Amino acid sequence: MPSVDRRTFLGSATLAAAASAAGKTTSAADDPALPGKTARTQFAVNVEMWWRDLPFLDRLREAAKLGFPAVEFWPWRNKDIPAVANLAEELGLEIAQFTAWGFVPGMNDPANHDAAVREIEESCRIAKQLHCPKMTVVGGNDQPGMTQEEMHDNIITALKRVAPIAEEQEVMLILEPMNIRVDHKGHCLYGSPDAVRICREVGSPMVKINWDLYHMQITEGDLCGRLHDGFDQVGYIQLADHPGRNEPGTGEVHYNRVLKELYEVLGYRDYVGLECRPLTTELAAAQAVARADVW
């Protein structure tokens, strides 16, 4: 465990003072070495972006050491799924979600819909092994010769085909809109209005949105207002600050305010995925996340 520098110490003191002033204490405030034990928002560490220099299974161990209750990751292929399942159970970690269908081939092209059905069926089997309730699906990069409206209609068609599988297996598919200004130029789905429209058109309780607040901030802003507009279609929340895609407190988003709105006003109780890159160390990033859970 790295030594705690002055900035980390002061941040931990601020966390404890804020919790005391609010008449609440948190495990993270009581023990800065366990910042993942937050009192309100429950966070799932994205182990593709944290501890990137470590072997995959060791990343789960590090998440548990910091007190986090859950992790998330990207595609399940090329991972030792039985080992992941066994270790997660041993550590008391939940797998909050993983990626079942990525950018390529696009779900926005009918030529790929049969493959999408097969992949979702297989991914549901993996989800069951991991006791994982949700899987991310991505709409796809722009298809030559297709309008955005056509691509979105194709996503709706694909999701309507796979929705019965998700419903039967009780695994939620969470569609993730991206941003085109910074990270995903050439992608066909960005911002919340189109994603909300798509999921409402599909009309399944097992097809909702992976509402990544980082992408939404870049694309549209008004984070709390947009959440209110489309909250009936929120299946999962992710976050990172902007600019930089690092932990809360490193950019322009006042995450204390956003997390408070989610928890106290909208009643969100599921995991919030930490799909962010630690700016310095994972411990410092986790302590910054814990500070964002204080209001």
Structure tokens at 11: 């941040």
Question: What are the phi and psi torsion angles at 34 (to 5°)?
Answer: -120, 60
Q: Residue 75's closest CA among 102, 99, 104?
A: 99
Q: Which tens digits make up the pLDDT trace of 15-38?
A: 444 444 444 444 464 577 899 999
Structure tokens at 123: 């991914």
Q: Residue 247's closest CA among 220, 216, 210, 272?
A: 272
Kindly list the structural domains of the chain, giving each domain's residue range(s) and its CATH number in brackets, ordered by start. Answer: 32-292 (3.20.20.150)
CB 151 within 8 A of CB 107: no
Mean pLDDT across the stretch 103-109?
A: 97
Per-residue confidence (pLDDT) for residue 28, from 0 to 100:
60
What is the SS3 assignment for 177? Answer: coil
Structure pTM? 0.90
Mean pLDDT across the stretch 239-256?
A: 98
Distance of CA 33 to the CA centre of its chain: 23
- Residue with more model confidence, 11 or 115: 115
CB 38 within 8 A of CB 269: no
Q: Which tens digits make up the pLDDT trace of 175-223?
A: 999 999 999 999 999 999 999 999 999 999 999 999 999 999 999 999 9
Per-residue confidence (pLDDT) for residue 21, from 0 to 100:
42
Per-residue confidence (pLDDT) for residue 131, from 0 to 100:
98
Sign of CA dihedral 192, 197, 201, 203: positive
The residue count of the chain comes to 295
Beta strand ranges found along 66-155 (DSSP E): 70-75, 94-101, 134-137
